[in-house]
Amino acid sequence: MTRDKINGRRLVGLFLLGMLLFNFPLLHLFNRPMLALGIPVLYLYLFAAWSLIIFLIHMISRSKPDTPFPDHSE
């Protein structure tokens, strides 16, 4: 399997993770009238999840492609 296919699968998995993180059941867990570090918990969760998704996209996109195999068909 090539690096492009692996990265494609990772990005699809990351998309599904994002859909899970920003969907109703998890958002409802953090929608409480509480403060953490002076910030509403829901806002803190949204910013942290968004930052995590961006960081993971960055890590996937920076992975180096496979080095080509030397051609010994001479």
Q: How far apart are CA 15 and CA 2, in angstroms?
A: 20
Measured distance CA(10)–CA(17) in Å, rounded: 10
Task: Specify the amino acid at residue 59.
Answer: M
* Confidence tier at 16 by pLDDT (50, 70, 90): very high
For 30-48, what is the HEC assignment?
Answer: HCCCCEECCEEHHHHHHHH
Domain boundaries, the chain: 3-61
* Strand 35-36, strand 39-40: pairing: antiparallel
Is the model's pLDDT at 10 over the cut of 90? yes
Strand partners, 36: 39
Residue 2 is predicted with a pLDDT of 83
> Does the pLDDT of residue 44 top 90, yes or no?
yes
Alpha carbons 28 and 30: distance in angstroms, whole number: 5
* Token representation of residue 14: 């990351």
